[in-house]
Structure 1
Amino acid sequence: MTKPKVAFICVHNSCRSQIAEALGKALASDVFESYSAGTETKPQINQDAVRLMKKLYGIDMEQTQHSKLISDIPEPDIAISMGCNVGCPFIGKPFDDNWGLEDPTGKNDEEFKKVIDEIQKQIMKLKDRMTNSALG
């Protein structure tokens, strides 16, 4: 049985969606495949996100991920918007969920950590929901 594909989407695919992809792979790869993408790309992943993910989780996102367009990933079974405060991208289907996360770009480490912590909580909730729905 193939695992469902979950896509974490935000406009630039450089910060929140990248964090979600990394945490999804680290914490829920037994339940779903994680991808991230955007409607635009950035030349590199947000360096504060990279630094803090290394520090907090030992994950080096620059080794395993890069900024991708929606057309660069497999068609997702579940599409999650990171937050539409910058305008939701159109991905060809409705979003299954909107996590409503503020973009921490340019903010201090504490604000980044709050967003990372919230993404981690949301990943675990999604994993639990998907595990429970698969059981019955």
Structure 2
Amino acid sequence: MTRPTVLFVCVHNAGRSQMAAGFLAHLSGGAVEVLSAGSMPAEHINPVAVQAMREVGIDITAAVPKVLTTEAVRASDVVVTMGCGDACPFFPGKRYEDWVLDDPAGQGIEAVRPIRDEIRRRVEGLLGELTAPQR
């Protein structure tokens, strides 16, 4: 089986999608190719998201917000959207999931921790599905 590719998309690619990408890259140990992008990328990663991830031992300081491209969607087996509405191109045959999560933008660490923890829970579930033996 080829290595699956997951694309996480949110508007600014600075918080939720970067935390999800950080978790999946860390937890999969390279078994999954991880991409993230935004429909209107910010200039830098949300520093509170960086802090929240650092608290659980994952460093996302090197991550850079990237613009969402049609090529990234085409290259992905699973596209996880997080509040980007209709900005994500749709291709038949792709698996899409929409994760409704609060936006950590402008939030303090106390508000971002539960968002981070919910993202981890969902990433763990997705990873379990992607790495389960095929029948």
Tell me the TM-score normalised to structure 1 length: 0.85
**Alpha carbons 1:81, 1:88 under 8 Å: kept:** no
| Higher-helix-fraction structure | 1
Q: Which deviations, in whole Å up to 9, do the C-alpha atoms of 1:19-55 show, x marking residues without a partner?
A: 0111110012443211110111111000111122112
**Alpha carbons 1:9, 1:17 under 8 Å: kept:** yes
1:73 Cα offset (Å): 4.0
Q: Which amino acid aligns with 2:32?
A: F
Q: Which amino acid aligns with 2:40?
A: E
Matched, 1:90 2:88: yes
Structure 2 residue runs without a partner (length 5+): none
Q: Which amino acid aligns with 1:113?
A: R
Q: Which amino acid aligns with 1:78?
A: V
- Tell me what 1:45 maps to: 45
Identity of aligned residues (%): 32
**Alpha carbons 2:9, 2:37 under 8 Å: kept:** yes
Structure 1 residue runs without a partner (length 5+): none
- Tell me what 2:16 maps to: 16
**Alpha carbons 1:9, 1:38 under 8 Å: kept:** yes
